[in-house]
Amino acid sequence: MTEEFRKLRQTVTDAQAALDRAQRDLDRAVRMCPHQWTAPKYAPTVREAYTVPASGGGSDYQPAFQVGREEKPRWTRTCTVCGLVEETTQVRSVTKEVPNFR
């Protein structure tokens, strides 16, 4: 191995070690964060409608057809302190009690 490549490989090794250290430090700090969440933001996963073109020929002909738009509910929230973003597709029901005048 030439000196030039030895130096380049060492630079990558050192940078990888620094990245690993920084990621560990960040992960530890995020675990210790008291998290202050923003209000949930609706951010659905969307697959737009599309058309599958016609294909084949003769007795094997498949006409073009439309595939509808698909939206899956999803919410995100972001910690205003550390920047952690959480996402969920889960919901729970909340029962609310109100005065019942008769």
Residues that bind Zn ion (CB under 5 A): 33, 35, 79, 81-82, 84
What is the smallest separation between the CB atom of 90 and Zn ion, expressed in angstroms? 20
CA distances to 40, 43, 45, 86 from 70, rounded to whole Å, are 21, 13, 8, 22
For Zn ion, give the closer residue by CB, 74 or 79.
Answer: 79
What is the smallest separation between the CB atom of 29 and Zn ion, expressed in angstroms? 9
For Zn ion, give the closer residue by CB, 11 or 38.
Answer: 38
What is the smallest separation between the CB atom of 101 and Zn ion, expressed in angstroms? 44
Please give the Cα distance from 95 to 91 (Å, whole number).
Answer: 13
Beta strands in the chain (DSSP E): 41-42, 45-47, 50-52, 65-67, 70-72, 75-78, 85-88
For Zn ion, give the closer residue by CB, 28 or 35.
Answer: 35
